[in-house]
Amino acid sequence: MNRSIVAGHGALAVVQVFFGLFPIFGTLAFAPGGFSPLGVGSWRIVAGSVALGGLAFFAYGRAAIPAKDDWIRFAICGLLGVALNQGLFLEGLARSTPMNAGLVMTLIPVFTFAVAAAARQERLSPLRAAGVLIAMAGAVLLLMGRGGGMMRGYGFGNLLMVLNALSYACFLVLSKRLLGRYDSLVVIAWVYILSLPYLPYFVIGEDLLADPGNRSAWLSLLYIVLFPTVLAYLLNMFALERVRATTTAVYIYAQPLVAGLAAWIVFDERPSIRMAVAAACLFVGIWLVARRPPMADPRLSEQEFEPAGT
């Protein structure tokens, strides 16, 4: 294995750590005297738009401006990939736990395949269909609260994060045509920029500023807007230039492990038997979905297994 490929794998590993720690720092940011969930989302939207938009125009100049025929698709991607994605995930995290969040995010590649199959961009083999069903069984277990009742305990928060995973999966499928026309940096920059019109829904009546003395909340916000937003994207782009996109499927397993270990260390959160069974279903489901049928067209599968993130 040459140094370039090793560097790509190293970058992917770091990306998973950035995303895996996101629920930890998000929970710390929501602590009393900190930020509201939508307040954190507002900061991330603004920071992502400024940083990624600035990088795109620095790299490509006027060529970074999309054709007018693509503006509507970019706007829809901004809604699905950023506005709904941020709102649902952060509100769900505030009502659940970091360990649950790490597990739910593994649904992104499963949902992406299911949506792509429904749009006839992917071939639905029996093995991969079984993977989707097994992963969904794991998701249902996460939605079942204490005593087996739907929506008890953390069920509602988990549901919001499941909807977030579905929203992000729809974004990945919808953005495929844009990625065929523009560089990935240009696409993600405009997706963030065109999420700005939805910002009023995030800021009205929300706590955009934490207490000045709440150092933990401010440092957590800094982590969220810098690492899983800007740096994770740049490292992911660096990695995908060196390894196949489908190779990144393996790294998705690292996110819940990072989130779970960190939640145990920071919050003394411990997995229940139900959570362990759900994790097993999710991991098996991802593995089955990631197995490409022998005759599948590799061009159709390059996007679906990008590292799951929010």
DSSP 228-264: IIIIHHHHHHHHHTTS-GGGGGGGGGHHHHHHHHHHH
- State pLDDT tens for residues 214-240: 999 999 999 999 999 999 988 888 887
Stretch 6-21: mean pLDDT, rounded?
Answer: 92
Helix (H) or strand (E) holding 274: helix 273-290
- State pLDDT tens for residues 121-160: 888 888 889 999 999 999 888 887 554 444 557 889 999 9
Token pair listed for 197: 């019109």
Asked if the model's pLDDT at residue 55 lies above 80, the reply is yes
Lowest mean pLDDT, pick from 25-39, 117-131, 148-162, 289-303 = 289-303
Stretch 23-30: mean pLDDT, rounded?
Answer: 97
The band of 297, judged by pLDDT with boundaries at 50, 70 and 90, is very low
The pTM (predicted TM-score) of the whole model is 0.88
CA neighbours within 13 Å on the CB side: how many for 174? 20
What pLDDT sits at residue 301? 44
